[in-house]
Structure 1
Amino acid sequence: MPASEKVLAFPVYPGVTPLDLIGPLTVLKTPGIGGTRYRTVVVGERAEPLATDTPLGLQPAATFAEMPNPWAVIVPGGGAATLAAAEDGALLSYVRSATAEAQVVGATGNGALVLAAADLLRGQRSAIHWAFREPLEELGVIPADQRWRADGRLHTAAGGTAGIDMALPLLARLRSKAIARFGQLSAEYDPQPPFGRVDPDPADAALARTLRDPGSAPIAAPAASDERLIALVLYPGLTVLDVVGPLQVLTMLQRFAPGYRCVTVWARREPVPTDVGVAVVPDRTFEEVPHPAIVLVPGGALPTIRAMSDPRVRDYVRATAASADLVTSVCTGSLILGAVGLLEGRDATTNWFYSGILEDLGATYHQRRWVEDGNLLMSAGVSAGIDMALHLAARLTDEATARRVQRAIDYDPQPPWGGIDYDRIPRLPRAIRGAISLAAPAVAARAKRLTRAERSKAADTQSVVRP
């Protein structure tokens, strides 16, 4: 690697929790101008797809052997799988050697268990997912009450989006606070959980045991024919946090309401590149899930503009929307809904930067965390997908169940500098938004031409087959 490059390595293992990985990875990928180059790399024992605790696979970009001396090592959590990972010889050997000279050693979720098993935390305080405090204590570490904690080179965070909370000040240290705030705005990390904070309750001990040992409280699964599928659409270059946030919520919902099941879909079962340099692997193809009960479309930047014209994405979204009970989107995913003609005259939202394109597609833009209009449910930028998914979980079940899901994933967001003040956004982000709005008519016009052509073709086909 170049002498001026500093690598931030994220070691992963089977059963890792995507949100614990992708949250801080998204923040730390925020580009900066000049100075030292920082590069984030997801590393595994082998550079081949591995399972997570959701229906989304991950493919590490490099092996442990290829990244022996990173500048930073941050270990994501993985629910009950981390207990097994804490006994994984190859993983522990890498963590011990890679952290020997690392300037930052971190963990998110219950990833602190791996650091503790590698004997890097003995006698120290560490943040961790609340349900795994006891196993951490058994390894000689003192669980901290903070959502995230920085102590010298050691940075640890609890679950949910605590990794984002931790990564923002770390990015400010690496780059500047202005760049970190820009990263917060890009991800629209202005969290507004629909039920507020979730406080402890008498059932927490039982829930903790279930999270540490899912088999201790088995739930009878419905027959496959009775399950209602929630299809999360993938496409090349997408903002993967758009998918991972709601997927983490809705996968946990399956544990408490097994009548719903999440699937991730793309045209083929093969790795799909994303915005953070790690490929993701769907568990189904479009053809295998033609009629989901709910379809969710994530967003991105330029790749989403391309997806608006991709016939594979357009055909699937349009076809599933015709029969789905709910059509949902995260961030600029709503632009894809608009591109196939689903938002004309409808209330909608999207990432703040892209509101001009949404309006040129015929929608009425609202700057809110999520917007509902009939069977459409759309969230604002990136992290808003988590808040929307909790709202959706309550809509599908009830508020008590949704609050239990929130507690289970340890979603208690606390941005280090508070939320986003949209009335005081700096000049550069406003200029970027303005430039995107200038391009909006051309982007929308192409999408509209494709929609008219598709509708004309469908009408011609119907006239030919009509008796």
Structure 2
Amino acid sequence: MPGNEKVLAFPVYPGVTPLDLIGPLTVLKTPGIGGARYRTVVVGERAEPLATDTPLQLQPAATFAEVPDPWAVIVPGGGASTLAATENEALLSYVRSAAPGAQVVGATGNGALVLAAAGLLRGKRAAIHWAYQEPLEELGAVPAPERWLVGGRLQTAAGGTAGFELALLLLARLRGRAIAGFGQLSAEYDPQPPFGRVGPDPADDELARTLRHPGSAPTAEPGTGDERLIALVLYPGLTVLDLIGPLQVLTMLQRFAPGYRPVTVWARREPVPTDAGVSVVPDRTFEEVAHPAIVLVPGGALPTIRAMSDPLVRDYVRSAAASADLVTSVCTGSLILGAVGLLEGRQATTNWFYPGILESLGATYQQRRWVEDGNLIMSAGVSAGIDMALHLAARLTDEATARRVQRAIDYDPQPPWGGIDYARIPRLPRAMRGAISLAAPAVAARSKRLTRAERSKAADTQLVTRP
């Protein structure tokens, strides 16, 4: 590797919380010119699929031994699994050996427990998911009330999207404030939780015990008649934060409303590359979840444009949507819905950069965090999927349950420079949006031709089979 390249290592372990990892990775993958040369890498004891606290596996890109001296080492949280990780000697040895030479030693969620167990936080203040403050104290550190805390080399963030916010600050340090602002816009990190901020609650002690001891929460047996599957669709190159935000919300919802089970699906059970430099492995195939109660389609950039014409993606989304109670999307995932003919004449939203394509597919674009039209629920760019998923959780259960989910994932967003001022978007992003709009008719044309051909084939089949 080039001698002046900075390597930011994210060590993972069984049961890691994907949102604590993927949020920072997405921010730090923001393209731009100038600033330090760096790359992010997810490292594990072995470079093989690893279980998370959701129905999704992650594939580390390298082993601990292959990235011995990173410029930064940032440990993501993992719910109750992080308590076990404080005794994972391979993980602790890596963190201890990497930390002395690292310019940044950090953690997100309850990853600070690993730093503390490695002996790096004794007597020091650290931000952490609120439910794990007591275990952090037991390991000799001082829990801080801040959402994120930057103290020299030590940088820690609480749960939910606090790691996203900490990464924006780190991106500004590495590439400058303008690039960090572009990263915030690209991910549309303009959080608007449907119920506002959810702070401390009298029931927090009980909820904390449930989070630290998952066996105390109600569960449903897999395959029970009352189980309703929520299928989250994968495809190569997707923006994985589009997927992870809702998945984290819906996995927590399952803890409190066991009748709903989120599952990740792709054509095959094999690693699927994503935009964040880490591959993910689904737990079901399209065939195994042919008729979900709810289908959710995440977005991306060019890979999503390709997926609009991919017969595997098109066939599954169209057939699953035909029988689903609700059809949902995040970011440019709505373009895939439009590509199979589901948005003609409907109100819809998508990533701020892509409304031209959405409208070329027959939809009416609304610049809102999420839009409902009948059984369709679509959210805007990337991080909006979290807000939409909380709204969905309330629709499936009730507001009290959804608020409990928000508190459980510690989603209390506080962007370091505030939200996005859409009236003052810089010239370059506006030019990029305009270029995409100019290309929109050509992008939409192929999808429209495929939809017409599919409808014609379906009509011919009905004529042949009609008695």
TM range (shorter): over 0.9
Residue 447 of structure 2 is matched in structure 1 by 447
Q: CA deviation at 1:222?
A: 7.2
Question: What SS does the corresponding residue of 1:146 show, helix, strand or coil?
Answer: coil
- What is the root-mean-square deviation in Å for CA atoms of aligned residues? 0.8
Question: What SS does the corresponding residue of 1:226 show, helix, strand or coil?
Answer: coil
Question: What SS does the corresponding residue of 1:450 show, helix, strand or coil?
Answer: helix
CA distance in 2, matches of 1:402, 1:461: 44
1:327 and 2:327 correspond? yes
CA deviation digits over 1:85-118, x for unaligned, max 9? 0110000000001111000010000000000000
Instruction: Kindly indicate whether the alpha-carbon contact (under 8 Å) linking 1:241 and 1:382 is maintained by their aligned counterparts in 2.
Output: yes
1:94 and 2:129 correspond? no
1:127 and 2:127 correspond? yes
Question: What SS does the corresponding residue of 1:313 show, helix, strand or coil?
Answer: helix
- Paired positions, count: 467
CA deviation digits over 1:245-268, x for unaligned, max 9? 000000000010000000000000
Letter in 2 for 1:79: G
Instruction: Kindly indicate whether the alpha-carbon contact (under 8 Å) linking 1:44 and 1:60 is maintained by their aligned counterparts in 2.
Output: yes
CA distance in 2, matches of 1:276, 1:95: 22
Question: What SS does the corresponding residue of 1:90 show, helix, strand or coil?
Answer: helix
Instruction: Kindly indicate whether the alpha-carbon contact (under 8 Å) linking 1:221 and 1:259 is maintained by their aligned counterparts in 2.
Output: no
Residue 38 of structure 2 is matched in structure 1 by 38
Residue 153 of structure 1 is matched in structure 2 by 153
Q: CA deviation at 1:36?
A: 2.9
CA distance in 1, matches of 2:117, 2:68: 19
CA distance in 1, matches of 2:207, 2:110: 15
CA distance in 2, matches of 1:295, 1:27: 26
Relative to structure 1, the CA distance from residue 370 to residue 73 in structure 2 (aligned partners, 3 Å threshold; closer, same or farther) is same
4+ runs deviating over 2 angstroms: 216-225
CA deviation digits over 1:312-367, x for unaligned, max 9? 00000000110000000000000000000000000000000001000000000000
Instruction: Kindly indicate whether the alpha-carbon contact (under 8 Å) linking 1:222 and 1:258 is maintained by their aligned counterparts in 2.
Output: no
CA distance in 2, matches of 1:36, 1:25: 16
Question: What SS does the corresponding residue of 1:329 show, helix, strand or coil?
Answer: strand
CA distance in 1, matches of 2:72, 2:117: 18
Q: In terms of mean alpha carbon deviation, does 49-58 or 23-32 score higher?
A: 23-32
Residue 172 of structure 2 is matched in structure 1 by 172
CA distance in 1, matches of 2:376, 2:326: 6
Instruction: Kindly indicate whether the alpha-carbon contact (under 8 Å) linking 1:222 and 1:259 is maintained by their aligned counterparts in 2.
Output: no
* TM-score, length of structure 1 as denominator length: 0.99
CA distance in 1, matches of 2:218, 2:466: 52
CA distance in 2, matches of 1:177, 1:189: 15
Question: What SS does the corresponding residue of 2:289 show, helix, strand or coil?
Answer: coil
Residue 370 of structure 1 is matched in structure 2 by 370
Instruction: Kindly indicate whether the alpha-carbon contact (under 8 Å) linking 2:34 and 2:175 is maintained by their aligned counterparts in 1.
Output: no
Residue 308 of structure 1 is matched in structure 2 by 308
Letter in 1 for 2:242: D
Q: In terms of mean alpha carbon deviation, does 86-95 or 208-217 score higher?
A: 208-217
CA distance in 1, matches of 2:7, 2:130: 29
Letter in 1 for 2:161: T
Residue 190 of structure 2 is matched in structure 1 by 190
1:340 and 2:340 correspond? yes
Letter in 2 for 1:248: Q
Letter in 2 for 1:132: Y
CA distance in 2, matches of 1:201, 1:242: 29
Instruction: Kindly indicate whether the alpha-carbon contact (under 8 Å) linking 2:73 and 2:105 is maintained by their aligned counterparts in 1.
Output: yes
Residue 81 of structure 1 is matched in structure 2 by 81
Letter in 1 for 2:201: D
CA distance in 2, matches of 1:330, 1:276: 16
Q: CA deviation at 1:44?
A: 0.2
Residue 199 of structure 1 is matched in structure 2 by 199
Instruction: Kindly indicate whether the alpha-carbon contact (under 8 Å) linking 2:220 and 2:259 is maintained by their aligned counterparts in 1.
Output: no
Q: CA deviation at 1:202?
A: 1.3
* TM-score, length of structure 2 as denominator length: 0.99
Letter in 1 for 2:29: K
1:17 and 2:17 correspond? yes
Residue 114 of structure 2 is matched in structure 1 by 114
Question: What SS does the corresponding residue of 1:281 show, helix, strand or coil?
Answer: strand
Question: What SS does the corresponding residue of 2:288 show, helix, strand or coil?
Answer: coil
CA distance in 2, matches of 1:341, 1:218: 39
Please give the residue correspondences for 1:204-283 in structure 2 after superposition, counting only pairs within 5 Å.
204-219=204-219, 221=221, 224-283=224-283
Residue 69 of structure 1 is matched in structure 2 by 69
CA distance in 1, matches of 2:145, 2:41: 29
Please give the residue correspondences for 1:282-431 in structure 2 after superposition, counting only pairs within 5 Å.
282-431=282-431
Letter in 1 for 2:48: E
Relative to structure 1, the CA distance from residue 7 to residue 196 in structure 2 (aligned partners, 3 Å threshold; closer, same or farther) is same
Q: CA deviation at 1:37?
A: 1.4
CA distance in 1, matches of 2:117, 2:32: 35
Letter in 1 for 2:56: L
CA distance in 2, matches of 1:396, 1:357: 30
CA distance in 1, matches of 2:215, 2:464: 56
Instruction: Kindly indicate whether the alpha-carbon contact (under 8 Å) linking 1:43 and 1:64 is maintained by their aligned counterparts in 2.
Output: yes
Instruction: Kindly indicate whether the alpha-carbon contact (under 8 Å) linking 2:35 and 2:176 is maintained by their aligned counterparts in 1.
Output: no
CA distance in 2, matches of 1:218, 1:161: 26
Gaps of 5+ in 2: none
Residue 457 of structure 2 is matched in structure 1 by 457
Question: What SS does the corresponding residue of 1:224 show, helix, strand or coil?
Answer: coil
Q: CA deviation at 1:224?
A: 2.2
Relative to structure 1, the CA distance from residue 296 to residue 203 in structure 2 (aligned partners, 3 Å threshold; closer, same or farther) is same
Question: What SS does the corresponding residue of 2:382 show, helix, strand or coil?
Answer: coil
Gaps of 5+ in 1: none
CA distance in 2, matches of 1:157, 1:93: 22
Instruction: Kindly indicate whether the alpha-carbon contact (under 8 Å) linking 1:105 and 1:155 is maintained by their aligned counterparts in 2.
Output: yes
Q: In terms of mean alpha carbon deviation, does 209-218 or 394-403 score higher?
A: 209-218
Q: CA deviation at 1:24?
A: 0.7
Letter in 2 for 1:117: A
CA distance in 2, matches of 1:117, 1:197: 31
Q: CA deviation at 1:462?
A: 1.1
CA distance in 1, matches of 2:185, 2:34: 21
Instruction: Kindly indicate whether the alpha-carbon contact (under 8 Å) linking 2:95 and 2:115 is maintained by their aligned counterparts in 1.
Output: yes
1:438 and 2:438 correspond? yes
Residue 53 of structure 1 is matched in structure 2 by 53
Instruction: Kindly indicate whether the alpha-carbon contact (under 8 Å) linking 2:28 and 2:167 is maintained by their aligned counterparts in 1.
Output: yes
CA deviation digits over 1:353-390, x for unaligned, max 9? 00100000000000000000000000000000000000
Question: What SS does the corresponding residue of 1:43 show, helix, strand or coil?
Answer: strand
CA deviation digits over 1:5-25, x for unaligned, max 9? 110000000000000000011
Letter in 1 for 2:189: Y
CA distance in 2, matches of 1:176, 1:160: 25
Letter in 1 for 2:43: V
